[in-house]
Structure 1
Amino acid sequence: MNSGFINRLVGTTIVVIAAIVFIPNILDGEKVHYKEGFKAIPERPEFTTIDLQDSIDDQVANAQQPNEEPEEDILPDDDLLSSSSEAVVETTPVAKKMVEASTEQTTVATTTAQPVEKKSEPSRKPEENLSKMAYVIQLGSFSHSANVKSLQAKLSDKGFKTFTRPVKTPNGTLTKVFVGPSLDKAQLESKLPELKALTKLNGKVTQFEVAK
């Protein structure tokens, strides 16, 4: 072999090797790299857990108590009581004579009625009213203490247990008169007609509230 042939063979080999190495890169062209853009997601904020019941309890505990009782827009019943008292005064002599004349005839009736009233007294004890539901009859509100005392004395003579409470109104302080309390609501409702005839007042049964 002469040197010329060898040189051509070496050159051809180099060209083939170069073609094998570089031609694929030339044919593929410039490679494009795709990179997806992701937005950074912020971290989840921390939420403060609040116990609603505890919050309500705190509000109740920190609430300012009213210094005075709320006012009620009511009118005094002194006029009704005064008219009733006048009627009672006018008919008192006749009533006394009728009572004296019928004392012997009504002895049995009165003796049977008394135990019923005595049995109802235990239900009116304040100790029981603290733990059980109790009711009262609200008779009326009065501006004169004399009328209150007169009404309580009249009711006491008939076997009714009463108590009073002051109430503030736009026109001044009145005194409410109540009958009771009793755990038997139906029993109080049955006494309304008798109290109406006795006092001329339209009483109503309401829930008993322990005074603070």
Structure 2
Amino acid sequence: MNHGTKQRVVGTVVLLALALIFLPFILDGDGEYQPTISSRIPDVPSVELMPEPMPRRPVIQSDSYPARTPQPDYQLSDEPSEQLTAAQESVVDAVEPIIEPPSAEPEPATDEVIEPEPGLDERLLPAGWSVRLGIFANPRNAANLEQRLLNAGYRAYHREMSGPQGVVTGIFVGPRVERAEANDLKVQLQEEFKLAGLVVRFDVESF
């Protein structure tokens, strides 16, 4: 046997061995052939459930008969009896009318309104108006402006107030009794000192 024939015989033996090994796995896991069985059972049909109707309470209709009014066994007479009339007269005579005395209505209390006199405010203090020329955080600047106003012949005064930056000093000129006089003073000070003032109420308690 030549060399080519030996190779063909060996190749055939190897192919047969491989076929014997893998053929059972191809047919079935256990080496058995299982035919494919198709099921002919139809699928479960989908049925839409309808809501059950609510039971209704039956309406019982009664027979419409006119209600009969029971008739009394006795007859009512139009004329009252003599005993009933005598009893009513005795009750009327026994009960005397009670006359209540007229109630004395209290007179409404009137609150006396104290009107402020001319030249006084609601607290009955002298009313007045002043011109505020400025508010200074530096007391030295406030003192300089106050001295300038006093030297010019104006009645100037200062007042310490609480502000966002602490205690500040306000410079005022006044007071004047009428607001119109304070407005004229404001214009005069603005022309002379070039300061835009503000007319405010004069507080006599802090003066």
* TM-score of the superposed pair, with normalisation by structure 1: 0.37
Larger Rg belongs to: 2
- Hey, which of these two has a bigger chunk of helix by percent? 1
Higher RCO (C-alpha 8 Å, min separation 6): 1
